[in-house]
Amino acid sequence: MGKPKIATVWLEGCSGCHMSFLDLDEALVDILSKIELCDTPITDFKDFNFPDVDVGIIEGSIANEEELKIARKLRAHCKVLVAWGDCAVFGGINTLRNTVPKEAILRRGFIETESTVGGVIPVDPELPLLLEKAVPVNYHVAVDAYVPGCPPSPEAIAYNLTEILEGRIPVLPSDMMHYD
């Protein structure tokens, strides 16, 4: 049997979770030697043609139609789905927009402030449509494991990946939860 295949995606959010992954330093080298990393935000595949993978890691909340498609596609192509970081687990700071109607956000961003689109709300089939509310990943797809934190600590990420690689669904100990 080959190395477990892992794919990661980054949705609506700040990217801090993937930066914590890089903060694993030497542990990252050890983990990477045990896995095949198939897709990451660094590869930036626009069509997200995921191969079937053992583990899918998703960072960020779901705030638009494109992110919803990505989350569903990743779930369909992985055995274990991990929600990584508070945006994916709870909705995080992205859900603050839920207190304001979507139309008011678009009006403020494109009509009431200077913009490069000439004071109109852009309508372009290339732009993803905002959902009415930004939501955590498990609102739309089944999640198997959670790594909360903003961002999660490198130790929590390493623990989570090690448990998964050893065939266990991790339950993160509370002392590993990290909030900046």
Do 84 and 159 form a contact (C-beta atoms < 8 A)? no
Q: Model pTM?
A: 0.82
How do the domains of the chain map onto residue ranges? 5-176
Question: Residues 76-134: pLDDT tens digits?
Answer: 999 999 998 888 998 888 888 889 888 888 888 888 888 777 788 888 888 788 888 99
List C-alpha distances in Å: 29 to 22, 92, 147. Answer: 10, 29, 20
pLDDT of 27 reads: 67
* pLDDT mean across residues, the chain: 82
Query: Whose CA is closest to 41, among 70, 83, 9, 67?
Result: 9
Residues whose CB falls within 8 Å of the CB of residue 33, separated by 6 or more in sequence, listed in order = none
pLDDT of 157 reads: 83
pLDDT (mean) for 65-79: 92
Do 97 and 103 form a contact (C-beta atoms < 8 A)? no
Q: Is 71 helix (H, G, I), strand (E, B) or coil?
A: helix
Cα(12)–Cα(8) distance, integer angstroms: 14
pLDDT of 140 reads: 96
For residue 78, the cross-strand partners are 53
Topology, domain 5-176? Rossmann fold (3.40.50)
Tell whether the model's pLDDT for residue 24 goes beyond 70.
no
